[in-house]
Amino acid sequence: MRKFINLVTNRLTIIGLILLLQIILLWLFVYKFAASWYYMHLTSIILGIIISLYMITTDENPMFKLIWIVFLLTIPVFGVLFYFYSRTERISYASSNAMIRSQKNREQETAKLSFQYSQEYKKHQIYLTSLNFPSFKNTKSLFLGSGEEKQSEMLRHLKQAKHFIFMEYFIITISKMWDEILEVLIQKQKEGVEIKIIYDDFGSATKLPFNYHKKLQKLGFEVIRFNPLKLHLNYGMNFRDHRKIVVIDNKVAFTGGVNIGDEYTNKKHMFGHWNDAAIMIEGNAVWGMTLIFLENWTYSTKQINLDFSKYNLKHEPVYNENIYIPFSDIPADKNLTAKNIYLHLINDAKKSVYITAPYLILDNEIATALKLASQSGVSVNIIMPSIPDKKLVYMVSKSYAEELVRSGVKVYKYIPGFIHSKMIITDKKVAMIGSSNLDFRSLYMHLENNIWLNDEDTIKQMTNYFEYTIKESELISLENIKRRSIFYKVFQAILKGFSPLL
């Protein structure tokens, strides 16, 4: 009963119900009067056809186009109105002065750096540096193969902070994990350490008390909620901050799949054993992570005059010839950076591709690249969960998995529970790890962050983690793909058609 009351009364549920009510009222208004408004219908149909033809000529993903065209042509009056409203919201979000200015601030700092390349993967690096994400040498890293390892290592470095701590998370949960972190942050604030925290208002809406950011601010922290939920229908609400970033004194930085909550450290078992991964970097590339955080901070707070350079603290140098490139995705632009790096890595693979993915909702380009690699003799291996956290999403993920299996891709289900790590390794030589899932939301709509690297020692650790996880996983074969009823297949096909919204 208590869980039901909490569900009904939490902020996300209330806002969701209000948004649903607005949609229903708009629908009723349109169709109550539209039936007698012949010209309104006719105009909407004509506009729907024109918009559909226009969308065909754009470079948007075909799945997005398909959903909009079906929407516009089947329910033209409502569809046309919602199209114009949602597009206006997206344009205003993308063209905001604060976002443009925050990007320029980061680019100004990037321009001061001399980019460094390795010959073997130069095109990857040129692509990223052309987007003002610098490549760094003199950096080392530690792969962390569980949320427990990340928490332990992160707490150790938080306690050593002298100047500043930056934290950016999609989810922060009131939990034992957060209590341990908060205890250290309170002590560090008393010592004069500057603490900035960003958390996503949607991702943390059911995890934190109402106005929890104000409680943290009273403790002396600078805290903002990214893209706060509002009590009106707003397409811009789809754009979420899915990043996982911790930067300490510009000396060390963490990223990966691990949010803050007890399920991530297996103190709480929601979907069996939670398998996750993260990485800690130390050295020159930390500055790239610091800049990514500050870019979002200045956008979200509108502090456009913030001096980024004062956070570029110098430390004892690290000597390492390997390349590290921290980079991010911003939904305001059309670069689709993480997706394009996925494609680079898959297309360049000569021997093997290793991918861990909690969700497998693929666009046509990535699905085709994986199939082509497999059919060209590359050993393509993907690990997905066996216990889902979102059942409808998992149903769609299984359909994509079965499609890949039929093309020779080896897809494994992690039997102990839920795998949440997000990484790709090709030829055991180059890798990407960070917050980006293999789904439409991560690759097209959310703020994400990742690190590209070719550090042999760290990639060996990542490869060992992957190969150990395979031993705990079951291979999906053509023989054990279950025959399902026609009703299941129809429902699965409908869900697959709406993949970009899942």
Q: Which of 249, 262, 329, 439 is catalytic?
A: 249
Q: Return d(Cα 207, Cα 193) in angstroms, integer.
A: 26
Tokens of 134: 């610098």
Q: Which of 88, 112, 92, 111 is nearest to 100 (CA)?
A: 92
Rounded to 10 degrees, the C-alpha dihedral 361/366/372/373 comes to: -100
Torsion sign across C-alpha atoms 140, 306, 134, 363: positive
Q: Which of 427, 429, 446, 455 is catalytic?
A: 427
Q: Which of 207, 242, 344, 398 is catalytic?
A: 242
Q: Return d(Cα 105, Cα 100) in angstroms, integer.
A: 9
Q: Which of 465, 412, 434, 462 is nearest to 289 (CA)?
A: 434
Q: Is 420 a catalytic residue?
A: yes
In total, the chain counts a number of residues equal to: 502
Q: Return d(Cα 315, Cα 282) in angstroms, integer.
A: 10
**What string of DSSP letters covers 9-66?**
HSHHHHHHHHHHHHHHHHHHHHHHHHTT-HHHHHHHHHHHHHHHHHHHHS-S-HHHHH
User: What residue ranges in 157-193 does DSSP mark as E strands?
Assistant: 164-169
Q: Return d(Cα 407, Cα 247) in angstroms, integer.
A: 41
Distances (CA, A) of 408 to 239, 279, 378, 379, 420: 35, 31, 10, 9, 24
Q: Tell me if 320 sits within 8 A of 139, measured CB to CB.
A: yes
Q: Is 422 a catalytic residue?
A: yes
Q: Is 363 a catalytic residue?
A: no
Q: Is 427 a catalytic residue?
A: yes
Q: Return d(Cα 119, Cα 316) in angstroms, integer.
A: 27
Q: Return d(Cα 78, Cα 72) in angstroms, integer.
A: 8
| Helix 38-57 / helix 62-74 crossing angle, nearest 10 deg | 170
CB-count burial class (<10 Å; 0-12, 13-18, 19+) for 280: buried
**H-helix or E-strand spanning residue 475:** strand 473-475
Q: Tell me if 222 sits within 8 A of 197, measured CB to CB.
A: yes
Q: Which of 157, 420, 429, 446 is catalytic?
A: 420
Task: Determine phi and psi for 495, rounding to 5 degrees.
Answer: -60, -40
Q: Which of 124, 422, 429, 446 is catalytic?
A: 422
The secondary structure of residue 172, as a DSSP letter, is B
Other residues' Cβ atoms within 10 Å of the Cβ of residue 33: 11
Q: Looking at the annotation, which residues are catalytic?
A: 242, 244, 249, 420, 422, 427
